[in-house]
């Protein structure tokens, strides 16, 4: 596990979602997000609830007391600093704790309280008298499984009789024994082995199955299949709970396979808006010229915080070192860095210790940094075909909430081709227009 310094939140939350192409990337993004997060992500949208039985009353709770938790568990929840259920928890918790058990599929962006919700559900579900595994939770990677375990351990501080085991590679168990831990959390491969090959767990006795990060899970065929195989071992009375940050068609098809007759809870991401962002483009000739233009901007960059986006790692490290040579202080966030290193850089940026962050295109796709007031697209966002990537552009510069702080976006144009990209982006973001500047830009805050 990676230790991260946890301090009081002084700046608004930032969220990183490097939307990479492989499961490894996705899982790493998710881990970085977890490592840097200290508070709930704000979301003012309404929760959408689809009940399996639409005639049954819809329960939602405004306090943890209403859930009738044991005093020990309630104490654990408050001890974590949770005062009231989050948006998604208001509806998800009563469903997960209902009798008879109900299946649930829940989708909301990362940071909205899903892990805390199912951790609470598992802790509340176990019968400590019974010394066998009752709750099984699977997660895409070793590190993510450990993160969940930490939440369970912390929330269960005052429930010493609840025991937890980690079904992760390297955690060797003797064949032939049966685990006494009521909760097992692990990765699909090891958990499947523990259920089938080693028989450490009796799948017939599992009464709650949690599948976390379904979208990340299905990005690997192996994990997808192992999850389904674990699911097949379970009885039909076992309560199935599935969580995902996104809900594309493929996630949905998978979810339906592992969660029969589900209740469904969805919380839409807050819309990003460009209303408060002024957008510019600067005409340059080549990268040295872009650099000169960036240096002109530098005074403005450091007034608040700025992010500079490049297309490749090579370009990002070239730019960062050139800026440093010029005597500027910048931080580099790049894809080849270890997760812990990345988290540390983001943390420093978040705390205002770094004012300027240079980042690679892949690494930065989808970073939402609310406190950043200036975004420089040193290279414009393009997709694999080299066409304008409008979605990434919006993610880079968009703000959540109508009353988001004012911001600026500066796009460096260095060829006819990149001019076409700027035009395409401008055309796409209908309600905003771009202002053209030639080299010297003065941004008035």
- By CB under 6 A, name the binding residues for ligand ADP: 37-40, 82, 85-86, 89, 110-116
**CB of residue 273 to ligand ADP, shortest distance in Å:** 23
Which CB atom, from 87 or from 313, has the smaller least distance to ligand ADP? 87
**Nearest distance from C-beta of residue 444 to ligand ADP, angstroms:** 36
Q: Least separation, in Å, of the C-beta of 187 and ligand ADP?
A: 17
Phi, psi of 256 (to 5 degrees): -65, -30
Residues 6+ apart with CB under 8 A from 278: 406, 407, 408, 409, 435
Question: Phi/psi of residue 41, each to 5°?
Answer: -80, 130
Task: In whole angstroms, give the CA distance from residue 198 to residue 223.
Answer: 19
Minimum CB distance to ligand ADP, residue 89 (Å): 6
For residue 295, the minimal CB distance to ligand ADP (Å) is 38
Q: Rank residues 82 and 252 by Cβ distance to ligand ADP and give the closer one.
A: 82
Rank residues 89 and 373 by Cβ distance to ligand ADP and give the closer one: 89
Residue 224 CA to residue 438 CA, distance in Å, equals 52
Q: In this structure, what token pair is assigned to residue 402?
A: 């109508």
Nearer CB in complex with ligand ADP: 38/52 = 38
First to last CA, the chain: 41
Which residue, 212, 42, 239, 220, is CA-closest to 126? 239
Shortest distance (Å) from residue 376 CB to ligand ADP: 29
Q: Which CB atom, from 41 or from 409, has the smaller least distance to ligand ADP?
A: 41
For the bound state, the minimum distance from the C-beta of residue 120 to ligand ADP, rounded and expressed in Å, comes to: 9
Residue 138 or 201 having the CB closest to ligand ADP = 138
- Closest approach of ligand ADP to the CB of residue 15, in Å: 10
Closest approach of ligand ADP to the CB of residue 25, in Å: 17
In the complex, what is the shortest distance from the CB of residue 151 to ligand ADP, in angstroms, rounded to a whole number? 7
Q: How far, in Å, CA of 332 to CA of 358, rounded?
A: 5
Q: Which is nearer to ligand ADP, 147 or 226 (CB)?
A: 147
Considering the complex, state which of residue 23 and residue 34 has its C-beta at the smaller distance from ligand ADP. Answer: 34
- β-strand partners of 155: none
- Which one, 59 or 82, has the nearer CB to ligand ADP? 82
Cβ distance to ligand ADP smaller for residue 113 or 203: 113
Minimum distance of ligand ADP from residue 356's CB (angstroms): 27
What would the two tokens of residue 375 be? 């975004």
Nearer to ligand ADP, 116 or 201 (CB): 116
């Amino acid at each position: 596990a990676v230790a991260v310094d946890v301090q009081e939140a002084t700046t608004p939350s930032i969220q990183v979602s490097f939307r990479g192409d492989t499961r490894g990337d996705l899982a790493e993004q998710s881990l970085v997000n977890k490592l840097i997060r200290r508070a709930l992500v704000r979301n003012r949208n309404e929760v959408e609830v689809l009940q399996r039985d639409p005639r049954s009353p819809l329960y939602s709770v405004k306090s943890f007391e209403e859930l009738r938790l044991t005093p020990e568990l309630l104490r654990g929840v408050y001890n974590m600093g949770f005062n009231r259920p989050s948006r998604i928890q208001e509806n998800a918790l009563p469903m997960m704790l209902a009798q008879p058990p109900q299946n649930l599929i829940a989708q909301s962006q990362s940071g909205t309280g899903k892990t805390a919700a199912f951790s609470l559900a598992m802790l509340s579900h176990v019968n400590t008298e019974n010394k066998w595994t009752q709750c099984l939770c699977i997660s895409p990677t070793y590190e993510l499984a450990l993160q969940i375990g930490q939440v369970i351990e912390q929330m269960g501080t005052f429930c010493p009789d609840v025991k937890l085991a980690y079904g992760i590679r390297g955690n060797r168990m003797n064949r032939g024994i049966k685990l006494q831990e009521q909760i097992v959390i692990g990765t699909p491969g090891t958990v499947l082995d523990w259920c089938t090959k080693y028989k450490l767990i009796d799948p017939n006795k599992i009464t709650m199955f949690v599948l976390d990060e379904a979208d990340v899970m299905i990005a690997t065929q192996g994990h997808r299949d192992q999850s389904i195989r674990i699911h097949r071992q379970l009885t039909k009375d076992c309560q199935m709970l599935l969580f995902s940050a996104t809900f594309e068609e493929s996630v949905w098809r998978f979810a339906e396979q592992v969660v029969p007759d589900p209740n469904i809870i969805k919380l839409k991401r807050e819309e990003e808006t460009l209303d408060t962002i002024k957008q510019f483009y600067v005409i340059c000739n080549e990268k040295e010229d872009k650099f000169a233009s960036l240096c002109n901007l530098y005074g403005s960059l450091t007034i608040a915080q700025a992010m500079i986006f490049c297309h490749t790692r090579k370009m990002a490290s070239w730019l960062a070192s050139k800026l440093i040579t010029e005597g500027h202080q910048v931080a580099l966030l790049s894809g080849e860095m270890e997760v812990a290193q990345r988290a540390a850089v983001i943390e420093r940026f978040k705390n205002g210790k770094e004012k300027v962050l240079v980042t690679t295109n892949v690494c930065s796709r989808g970073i939402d940094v609310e406190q950043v007031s200036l975004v420089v697209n040193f290279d414009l966002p393009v997709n694999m075909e080299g066409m304008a990537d409008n979605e990434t552009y919006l993610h880079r510069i968009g703000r959540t909430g109508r009353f988001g702080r004012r911001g600026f976006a500066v796009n460096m144009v260095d060829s006819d081709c990149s001019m076409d990209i700027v035009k395409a982006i401008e055309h796409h973001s209908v309600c905003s227009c771009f202002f053209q500047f030639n080299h010297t830009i003065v941004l008035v805050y």
